[in-house]
Amino acid sequence: MERKTAYIAPEEIARQRGFSEKIAERFAARQAHPRACVDTFGCQQNVADGQKLMGMLEEMGFSFTDEPKEADLVILNTCAVREHAEQRVFGNLGALTHTKRENPEQVICLCGCMAQEERVARRVKESYRHVDLVFGPHALWRFPELLWQVYESRKRVFSVADERGSIAEGIPTVREKGVKAWVSIMYGCNNFCSYCIVPYVRGRERSRDKDAVLAEVRELVDAGYKDITLLGQNVNSYGNDLGGEYGFADLLRDIDRIPGEYLIRFMSSHPKDATPKLFDAMAECPHVAKQLHLPFQSGSNRVLKEMNRRYTREQYLELIRYAREKMPGLVLTSDVIIGFPGETEEEAMETVSLVQEVGFDALFTFIYSPRPGTKAAELPDPVPRAEKQKWFDRLLEVQNAHSAAAHAAYVGKTVRVLVDSRSDDAEYPLASRTEGNRLVRLKGDESLIGKFLDVKITGSNTWALYGEAL
């Protein structure tokens, strides 16, 4: 994709602000104080999108509530990756018939990845007639205009046209208070893994201008954010659409030069685009966390080929070997799918053996969930769910044992953490993260939130460490 085709003109962004002003004036004329409920599902990219929606809503004069029944506008910002998330969204949409009945003026909006799927948009149009506005990720930057159309026409508005996607700079953002922030460095995906719907709903890969990314990170550091995550469906391919001379490793090095006390993380990474150059940059940049989330999905070469992952088990293991050679203390996590269509027990156990060989610090594990519209959904899948569950349980048994042992090895050691929030544990009221993103629950006062501390680890379990500040 040529770079000039990917960017929305500043004049168009200014035009959207004009619609925001019209909506604000509309409420002001009625002496109304509108409230919005934004409910976000799914990944961090969706969280970042939700923060942009809230930024635009704030310009329109909205305040925010977590209760749909209190809201003049309800937005479900959705995820399409797994069937369970889709079912939850439809359940929530159904429940909103009651809030709409109590408040007929309430506007209900479905957006995000689910909304971009043709079958979902059609189902909403036919069966959820109380939903007023539906738009996909491509139209997010046009949200003020679309909402204005709903208010002016009193008709339902759908904006889910299939397109390659674009980049819109200058959209206002409402970020969560605290120490963590998300920065999207690119959008879309070109990989077309056979089980994944994302390329169909988020469009082709397009990278933000490096100067825009650097400016945003600099602003966040100056504002006091200390744990900043760079986002993309495949951050390792950053810059490929801009000529390829300046890549993700180069961006990490430039970000690292920004002065301040902060950590940079990133996700997600695709093994086919992970390179020694990237690992060298991670090792040499003090602001870049020595943490790598590198999804391998399957330990079977045949299954990897069916998944269209475009690397082998052997290539993945070589990447891990090199990364650990450069960063001996690297914390490594991954994604795994068990029960891909046609997978045998022997192939599932190849995945388990890879987990044993690598020794991941943590895994995000899933039993395969078919997504309509993907190639994998059309494959024969003869293995019963109960059998897949047995394979899955074996994977969890191996991984949980390793996680528990890895955490136990920390007891007695001193580690540096960033205290980022309150904990739900009365005895250890603070939550913090190591550079490797391990959760450490702490004793201490809330005044420590936002600070880097040296902590002595006093206990552990499979999922967390426990410690005391020195």
Domains defined for the chain, CATH in brackets: 9-159 (3.40.50.280), 180-407 (3.80.30.20), 414-469 (2.40.50.140)
CA–CA distance, 281 with 255 (Å, rounded to integer): 11
> What token pair was written down for 355?
């987990």
> What token pair was written down for 364?
């995000």
pLDDT of residue 162: 82
β-strand partners of 419: 432
pLDDT of residue 86: 87
Among the listed residues 137, 16, 166, the one whose alpha carbon sits nearest the alpha carbon of residue 77? 137
pLDDT of residue 2: 45
pLDDT of residue 85: 82
pLDDT of residue 362: 93
Q: Which residues contact 186 (CB under 8 A, 6 or more apart)?
A: 205, 206, 207, 208, 232, 233, 234, 235, 237, 238
pLDDT of residue 80: 85
Q: Read out DSSP for 136-178?
A: -GGGGGGHHHHHHHHHHH-S-EEE-------B-------PPSS
Q: 459-462: which pairs have CB atoms within 8 A and are 24 or more residues apart? A: 459/411, 460/404, 460/407, 460/408, 460/410, 460/411, 461/404, 461/407, 462/400, 462/403, 462/404, 462/407
Cβ contact 368:340 at 8 Å: yes
One pLDDT digit (tens) per residue for the chain, 470 residues: 444 447 899 999 999 999 999 999 999 999 999 999 999 998 889 999 999 999 999 999 999 999 999 999 999 999 888 888 889 999 999 999 999 999 999 999 999 999 999 999 999 999 999 999 999 999 999 999 999 999 999 999 999 988 888 899 999 999 988 899 999 999 999 999 999 999 999 999 999 999 999 999 999 999 999 999 999 999 999 999 988 789 999 999 999 999 999 999 999 899 999 999 999 999 999 999 999 999 999 999 999 999 999 999 999 999 999 999 999 999 999 999 999 999 999 999 999 999 999 999 999 999 999 999 999 999 999 999 999 999 999 999 999 999 999 999 999 999 999 999 998 888 999 999 999 999 999 998 889 999 999 999 999 998 899 999 98
CA–CA distance, 329 with 327 (Å, rounded to integer): 6
